[in-house]
């Protein structure tokens, strides 16, 4: 998970610098590995943290929350574009959310060590 979130953050920072088509392709590859790896690892992580008994209930509710956030995210990105004329602010917000998730993951792992 740490590697996946690191790739996502790196991809959004890279997108800030992208000014050629090959840079956009590289963003898509790096982002794809990070995002795909995250979704592959989330199921075992939920099962490990909350147990198999709760796994079905948690996974039933997860897409509902995710889809609501996706709708709001698109509206926010469009609003930021209308205000600034650029998607840079939206990309920074995505990178900040990734960094927050990475930090929370680090805190969770640190608690397991002690």
pLDDT of residue 55: 79
DSSP-derived letter for residue 13 is H
Over range 74-95, report the average pLDDT: 89
Q: How far apart are CA 73 and CA 76, in angstroms?
A: 5
Q: What's the pLDDT band for 105 if we cut at 50, 70, 90?
A: confident
Q: What angle do CA 65, 66, 71 make, to 5 degrees?
A: 100
Cα 32 to Cα 38, 109, 112: the distances in Å are 10, 25, 29
What are the tokens at 27?
A: 């963003």
pLDDT of residue 67: 64
pLDDT of 97 > 70? The answer is yes
Sign of CA dihedral 70, 34, 8, 31: negative
pLDDT of residue 63: 65
**This prediction's pTM:** 0.77
Ramachandran area for residue 25 (φ above 0: left; ψ -120 to 50: alpha; else beta): alpha
What are the tokens at 71?
A: 């709708």
Over range 80-97, report the average pLDDT: 90
- Give me the percent of the chain exceeding a pLDDT of 90: 32
Per residue in 20-72, pLDDT tens?
999 999 999 999 999 899 888 888 887 887 888 877 777 776 666 666 677 78
Q: Give start and end residues of each alpha helix (H) in 18-87.
A: 21-50, 52-84
């Amino acid at each position: 998970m740490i590697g996946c979130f690191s790739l996502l953050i790196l991809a959004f920072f890279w997108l800030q610098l992208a000014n050629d088509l090959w840079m956009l392709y590289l963003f898509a590859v790096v982002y794809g590995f990070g995002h795909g790896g995250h979704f592959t690892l989330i199921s075992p992580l939920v099962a490990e943290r909350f147990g198999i008994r709760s796994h079905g209930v948690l996974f039933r509710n997860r897409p509902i929350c995710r889809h609501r956030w996706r709708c709001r995210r698109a509206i926010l990105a469009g609003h930021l574009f209308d205000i600034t004329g650029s998607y840079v602010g939206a990309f920074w917000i995505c990178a900040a959310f990734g960094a927050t998730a990475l930090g929370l993951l680090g805190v969770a792992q640190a608690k397991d060590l002690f």
